[in-house]
Amino acid sequence: MGGFSTNNFKGFVLALLSSGFIGASFIIKKKGLRRAAAVSGVRAGVGGYAYLLEPLWWLGMITMIVGEVANFVAYAFAPAVLVTPLGALSIIVSAVLAHFILKERLHKLGILGCVMCISGSVIIVIHAPQERSISSVQEIWNMATQTAFLLYVGSVVVVVFILIFHFAPQCGSTNVLVFTGICSLMGSLSVMSVKALGTSLKLTFEGKNQLIFPETWFFMVVVAICVITQMNYLNKALDTFNTAVVSPIYYVMFTSLTILASVIMFKDWDGQSGGSIISEICGFIVVLSGTILLNVTKDYEDSSFRGIYHPPLSSSLSARLCSGNGELLKHDEENLVSSDEICLRRQELY
């Protein structure tokens, strides 16, 4: 079993705070959007911008930024194997607060999903590997330029280019795996760059200035490129397909690829026993299952409440993946979800 070091504990606490703030930000912003729509009579989903004058909406924005900063710092202290799966807890916070504040009823299976997410997170935390001690950004650069990780980066870049220039024009609007694949692949690289940049800044604040090294600025540029690309295609996916389909698929792909990238670059599992590694994988599968269950049941309840038709939960997955082109959502103008609400349905981004 991996030792729960001081750094791991700091990263764990920051990841929990991040999930709390981001989950709460969705509810605060949604209340702000509703209040602005009530005052102006125009919903954000149909082109209204009255929410920009609503203090509650800005409070939600600030809350979200605080959560993202906490998540950013968490990667500087703990391995991605620990931090990334904990992002699912923001879904629980959002669902519970929506139940009590927005009166959006949480399905009984959704409650089971929450319990599964918490249980899986506990398993991951108990068996998480220790964070490696890093003394300089050059050490991180050496990890990033090792042959195995360069092969991973090269594979990601090639696949992303193929998806963007070949598959996206042909079937991007009919197959959910295209857009989610792009943002998940880029997301795994963005997390590695965020961890590298966060560690560099942590060392700088400790008195070991890393800003004088070009590697630090290189990682900063990579973070910007990856995050912009990732968010662009995530928004495309959410705008085109049912959120109940996009959210769990994105969470699965993003988290799995991030853990794989971290294991290759930072060698998180080196020195761990086979039992600990298997326990972490099982914990991740439990969190994953809970996340899917919570997303699907919550969206089903929302659609019943709003009067929007979605494909029944019993329909085949392949049918939902290939034919959910979002047309069903686009014709009910009164029930359009604003881009702000959609973007805040984070399934970890980091």
- Domain layout of the chain by residue ranges: 1-129+274-301, 131-267
Q: Smallest Cα–Cα separation from 230: which of 266, 171, 262, 190?
A: 190
What whole-number distance in Å separates Cα of residue 8 and Cα of residue 12?
6
Six-digit token pair at 118? 């918490």
Per the CB < 8 A criterion, the answer to whether 336 and 252 are in contact is no
What angle (nearest 5°) sits at the alpha carbon of residue 161, between those of residues 156 and 163? 95
Per the CB < 8 A criterion, the answer to whether 299 and 337 are in contact is no
| pLDDT for 303 | 52
pLDDT in tens, 247-285: 778 888 998 999 999 999 998 888 788 998 999 999 999
Instruction: Using pLDDT thresholds of 50, 70 and 90, give the confidence band for residue 327.
Output: very low
What whole-number distance in Å separates Cα of residue 144 and Cα of residue 151?
10
Amino acid identity of 251?
A: Y
Burial grade of 66 (CB within 10 A; 0-12, 13-18, 19 or more)? middle
What whole-number distance in Å separates Cα of residue 10 and Cα of residue 74?
7
Rounded to 10 degrees, the C-alpha dihedral 6/9/224/165 comes to 120
Position of tokens 């195995």? Answer: 148
Which has more confidence, 247 or 199? 199
pLDDT in tens, 310-321: 444 333 333 333
Instruction: Using pLDDT thresholds of 50, 70 and 90, give the confidence band for residue 45.
Output: low
Q: Tell me 335's DSSP state.
A: G
Compute the average pLDDT of residues 139-164. 96
Alpha-carbon separation of residue 199 from 78, 88, 159 (angstroms): 10, 23, 28
- How many C-beta neighbours within 10 Å does residue 177 have? 17
Residue 232, Cα to own-chain centre: how many angstroms? 14
Ramachandran area for residue 203 (φ above 0: left; ψ -120 to 50: alpha; else beta): alpha
